[in-house]
Structure 1
Amino acid sequence: MSTSRWTAVLPDLAPWRSSRDFRLLFYQGTVTYFGSFMAMIALPLQIKHLTDSPLAVGAMGAVELVPLVVFGLYGGALADAVDRRRMILLTEAGLGVLALVLLVNALLPDPLLWPLYVVAAGVSALAGLQRPALDSLMARIVPHDQLTAAAALNGLRYQFGAILGPALAGLVVAYAGHASAYAVTVAGFLGSVVLCSRLSPAPPVEGAERPSLRGIAEGARYAWSRPVLLGTYAVDLAAMLFAFPNTIFPFLADELDAVWALGLMYAAGAVGSMVLGLTSGWVSRVRRHGLLVVLGATVWGLAIAAAGVSPGIWPVLLCLAVAGAADMLSGLGRATIWNQTIPEELRGRLAGIEVLSYSVGPQLGQVRAGTMAGWTGTRPAFWSGGLACVASVAVLAALLPKLISYDADTDEDAQRRRAAREAEPV
C-alpha cells in the first residue's frame, strides 16, 4: 500500500502536532482511563462477590444516577465561569481520594458493602463536575478543522484503558484480589494529577456569569432550539438506555461456562473501537456527521441483540467488538457536531448536557439490564434491549431529519463557530 493510502486510513495526528495541551490531555487520559477501568470492573465484581445478586449490581447504576444529573449540570455551568484547568485538577485529585477509600475497604478482613455504593455515588458526582470542563476545553485547544481528528485520537486513549484495564482487572481480581486492582487505580490518579498540573490556564471568557439555575436553563434552551444537537443527545441516550448490558456480563459468562473470558467481554467493545480508531483517517473527510451518529447507534443495537442470541463465547465477543466499533463511529459524529457548532460562552453548560446524554443513559441501562435479567433471564435482557435500541433510533431519525442532513460545510452554527475560532488571537 502506498504512503498516501496509508495516510488516508491511519489516524490523523494533526491535533497531536499542533497542541501541547492536547498531548498532555492525551497522556493524562491514557493513565486515568487505565486505572479507572481497573476499578470499574473490580467494583461490580466485588458487589457480585459479596451479594451474588444481579439486582445488587444493577443498583450501582441507580446510586450513580442522581449525583451525575445534579453535578453534571452544575459542572457545566461552573466550567463556563472558572478556570477549567483548575477544575480538572481538583476533581482528578478527588477521584484519587475515592479510589483510596476503595483500597482501604478492600484491605479490611471483612470488606463492607455500603462504602462501595457511597464511593460509586461520589465518583459519579466528581465525574459530573469534571467532564464538562474536559470536553469544553477541547474546542479551545484544537484548531476547528482538526476537531474530528482530535475526537478519534481521544477515542484511542480511552480504548487503550478500556482494553487493558478490564482485561487485566479480571486477572488481577482473580489472582491478587480486589485491593490490588484498586491500588493500580490510585497510582493512575497520582500520575494523572501530575500531568493535569502542567496544563495551560484556561480562564473563562470575559464577562462570564456565575453558575446559576438561570445560566443552566439558558444552555438547555439553546440545546432545545437546535434540532441537530437535540438529535445527538436523544440518539445516544436511547442507545445506552436500551442496549448497555455491561453490568450483567458476569452472569452471561456464567451461562456460557466462560468465566475465564469475563475480562475479554468487557474489553471486546474497546477492541472494536480501537480498530475503528486506528483506521479513522477517512473520518476527517466526512462532512455528514449526523449520519455517523444514526448509523453507529443502529449497528450498536443490532450487535447487542446478536450477542444475546449467540451460542458461544467467541460469537459473543465478535458481536461486542462490532458494537464497540459502531459506538466509536457514533461518538465521533457526536463529538464533532458538538465542538463544531456550540459557541464558546456556552461550551461548559452544553458539555454538562452532553455528560447527561452519554452518562445517564449507561447508568439507566445498567438498572434496566440488571432488573430485566433478574425477571426474565440474562439473554432476553440482551436481545430485547438491542432491538428496542434499533427501533428508538429509527423513530428519532424520522422525528429529527435535520440530524441526518447536517453538513459541516453548510450548517449555519458550524460556519459561525468556525469564523469565531479563526478570529481568536493565536
Structure 2
Amino acid sequence: MSTNHPANRLPADETQPPTAPADALPTPPRYRRIARSTFADLSPLRDHADYRRVWFGQSVSSIGQQMTAVAVSVEVYDLTGSTFATGLVGLFSLLPLIAFGLYGGAIADTVDRRRLGLIGAAGLAVVSAVLAAQALAGLGLVAVLYVAVALQAGFFALASPARSAMIPRLVPAHRLPAANALNTVSMNLGLTVGPMLGGVLIGAYGVQAAYLVDTVAFAATLYAMWRLPAMLPLGDRKGRASVLDGLRFLREQPNLRTSFLADLAAMIFGMPRALFPALAVTFYGGDARTVGLLAAAPAVGALAGALFSGWVSRVHRQGLAVVVAVIAWGLAIAAFGLLRNLWLGLLMLAVAGCADTVSMIFRNTMMQVAAPDEMRGRLQGVFIVIVAGGPRLGDFESGAVASLTSPTVSVVSGGLACVVAILLLAARRPAFLRYDARHPTP
C-alpha cells in the first residue's frame, strides 16, 4: 500500500496560524487560560476521534487487567498459602514481557499495527475468560494460573509496541506531549482504580467476578482497534525487521539512548519498592495496610502529575526536563528514607511518582518524534523491557544493599545514587540538555 493512501498519512499539522489577524481572535477569559495551562490538555481527546477511542479502550482494559492481577495473586495465595508461590507470579510474567516485548516491537515495524493490536486485545480477552472459567469450575490448579499469567504478559508485550507506535499517527506532533500525558492518566487510573475495584469485587463475589469484568472490559479496546484505519509502518518495509537492528539504531542515536539510560538510573537506584514491607514495620510501626499505602502513593502522585500537565506542551528543552525530573525523583526518594512520619513519607513518594510521570511524558515524546516511523515499534519494545526489568533490578539492588547495611541506608543511598547517575549522564552527553522539540534529533 502506498504511503500516500489516506490510512497511512500522518495527522495534518494544526500549527498553522489562523488567516484572520491575531487581534481579531477572541481572547479566552483569564480563568480559562489558567485552567488550560494547569490541567491536562484534553485537545487530543476532543479533536481526534481515533485517539479518543483508543484512549478510552485502553483505560477501561487497564482497570480490568489490574483487577485480574489482584485476583490472580489472591487465588494463588488461597490455593498455596505460600508467599513464594505468590511471588512466582511476577517471574512468570517478566520473562514473556522481555522476550515478546523485543520481538513484538520488531513485528510492529513490518505488519499492520491495527491488526496486531486487535490480536493482542483478543488474546488477552480469551485468557481472562479462561481464568473466569477455571475459577467458576473450581479447578484449583496453580499451574493453570501461572500459564495464564505468562500468556497475558506475552499478548500484552506483543500488542503494546504496536499501540504506542500508533500514537504519532493519531495526533499531530505538537500534541504528542499532551497525548502522552493523557496516556499516563490512563495507565495510573488502572494502577489506582483497578486494585481497589478488584478488592471490592473479590471480597463480595469471589475472584471469578474480577475475571469476568476484565473479559467484558476488553470490548472497549477491541472496538477502538476495529474502528482504526490500517496502520502499516511508513518507509521501506521490505524483509524482516530485526531486533538487533533496533538495538543498533538505539546505540547510534545518543539522545534517545540517554533517555533510556536516564530511566534505568531512576529505576535501578531509586526504586525502594521491595523494602516497603520492612519499612512499614521499622519506620512506622504499621502492618499490611501501611504497605498498601506505601505502594499506592507513587501511583497517586503520578496520576496527579498527569492530571496537572497542561504546561508540558510549552516545554521545548525536553532533555533538560527529563534530567530535572529524574533529579527530583532521586531527591524525593532520599527524603523519604530520612523521614519517620508516615504522611510525610507518603508525600515524598507521591512527589517521586509525579516526577516520574513528567520524565515519562517527555521520554515518550522524544522517542515518538525523533525516531523514524519504521523504528518506533522496536524502540517501544525496548521501552517495555526497560519498564518491566528496571523496577525488578531496583528490587534486587535495594534488597541487597539493605541486607548489607540497613533499609534506611539503602533508600537514602539509592536516591542519591540516582541523582549522581543522571548528573554523570548529563555531563557525558551535554547535547541531551540542549535537545529541542522544535528541532528533534535522535
TM-score by length of 1: 0.85
**1:352 has 2:374 as partner:** no
**1:131 has 2:160 as partner:** yes
Worse-matched range after superposition: 382-391 or 134-143:
382-391
Choose which of 252, 259, 263 in structure 2 pairs with 1:236: 263
Distance 1:6 1:121, change over 3 A: same
CA distance in 2, matches of 1:280, 1:316: 24
Check conservation: 2:337, 2:412, Cα contact below 8 A.
Answer: yes
Instruction: Please list, as runs of the form range in 1=range in 2, the aligned pairs for 1:325-344 lying within 5 A after superposition.
Output: 325-344=354-373
Report the secondary structure of 1:111's partner residue: coil
Report the secondary structure of 1:204's partner residue: coil
Report the secondary structure of 1:2's partner residue: helix
Q: For residue 99 of structure 1, what is the aligned residue in structure 2?
A: 128
Choose which of 45, 62, 71 in structure 2 pairs with 1:16: 45
CA distance in 2, matches of 1:160, 1:307: 24
CA RMSD of superposed structures (Å): 3.0
Instruction: Please list, as runs of the form range in 1=range in 2, the aligned pairs for 1:298-309 lying within 5 A after superposition.
Output: 298-309=327-338
Report the secondary structure of 2:310's partner residue: helix
CA distance in 1, matches of 2:332, 2:207: 31
Choose which of 306, 317, 324 in structure 2 pairs with 1:277: 306
Check conservation: 2:369, 2:440, Cα contact below 8 A.
Answer: no
Shift in Å, 1:335: 1.0
Instruction: Please list, as runs of the form range in 1=range in 2, the aligned pairs for 1:290-329 lying within 5 A after superposition.
Output: 290-329=319-358
CA distance in 1, matches of 2:218, 2:64: 7
Distance 1:60 1:313, change over 3 A: farther
Q: For residue 55 of structure 2, what is the aligned residue in structure 1?
A: 26
Q: Which residue identity is paired with 2:307?
A: L
Distance 1:200 1:374, change over 3 A: farther
CA distance in 2, matches of 1:249, 1:262: 6
Shift in Å, 1:296: 2.0
**1:167 has 2:186 as partner:** no
CA distance in 1, matches of 2:81, 2:108: 40
Choose which of 289, 313, 331 in structure 1 pairs with 2:318: 289
Worse-matched range after superposition: 52-61 or 197-206:
52-61
**1:79 has 2:108 as partner:** yes
CA distance in 2, matches of 1:277, 1:58: 30
Q: For residue 224 of structure 1, what is the aligned residue in structure 2?
A: 251
Worse-matched range after superposition: 334-343 or 66-75:
66-75
Check conservation: 2:70, 2:199, Cα contact below 8 A.
Answer: yes
Q: For residue 36 of structure 1, what is the aligned residue in structure 2?
A: 65
Check conservation: 1:242, 1:386, Cα contact below 8 A.
Answer: yes
CA distance in 2, matches of 1:322, 1:315: 10
Q: Which residue identity is paired with 1:228?
A: N
Shift in Å, 1:340: 1.5
Worse-matched range after superposition: 396-405 or 318-327:
396-405
Cα-to-partner distance string for 1:365-385 (whole Å, 9 max, x where unaligned): 455567777888876665554
Distance 1:36 1:389, change over 3 A: farther
Distance 1:245 1:7, change over 3 A: same
Q: For residue 419 of structure 1, what is the aligned residue in structure 2?
A: none
Instruction: Please list, as runs of the form range in 1=range in 2, the aligned pairs for 1:48-59 lying within 5 A after superposition.
Output: 56-59=85-88
Report the secondary structure of 1:280's partner residue: coil
CA distance in 1, matches of 2:83, 2:325: 29
Cα-to-partner distance string for 1:144-190 (whole Å, 9 max, x where unaligned): 11111111111122222222112333444455543333333222223
Cα-to-partner distance string for 1:16-53 (whole Å, 9 max, x where unaligned): 23322111111111101111122233444555555666
CA distance in 2, matches of 1:388, 1:108: 50
Check conservation: 2:44, 2:171, Cα contact below 8 A.
Answer: yes
CA distance in 2, matches of 1:239, 1:102: 35
Cα-to-partner distance string for 1:186-210 (whole Å, 9 max, x where unaligned): 2222332233222222123364134
**Kindly, what percent of the aligned residue pairs are identical?**
38
Query: Any unmatched runs of 5+ in structure 2?
Result: 1-29
Report the secondary structure of 2:299's partner residue: helix
Shift in Å, 1:230: 0.4
TM-score by length of 2: 0.82
Check conservation: 1:54, 1:370, Cα contact below 8 A.
Answer: no
Distance 1:410 1:194, change over 3 A: closer
Check conservation: 1:57, 1:247, Cα contact below 8 A.
Answer: no
Report the secondary structure of 1:200's partner residue: coil
Instruction: Please list, as runs of the form range in 1=range in 2, the aligned pairs for 1:87-236 lying within 5 A after superposition.
Output: 87-107=116-136, 111-174=140-203, 176-205=205-234, 207-212=236-241, 215-236=242-263
CA distance in 2, matches of 1:171, 1:260: 15
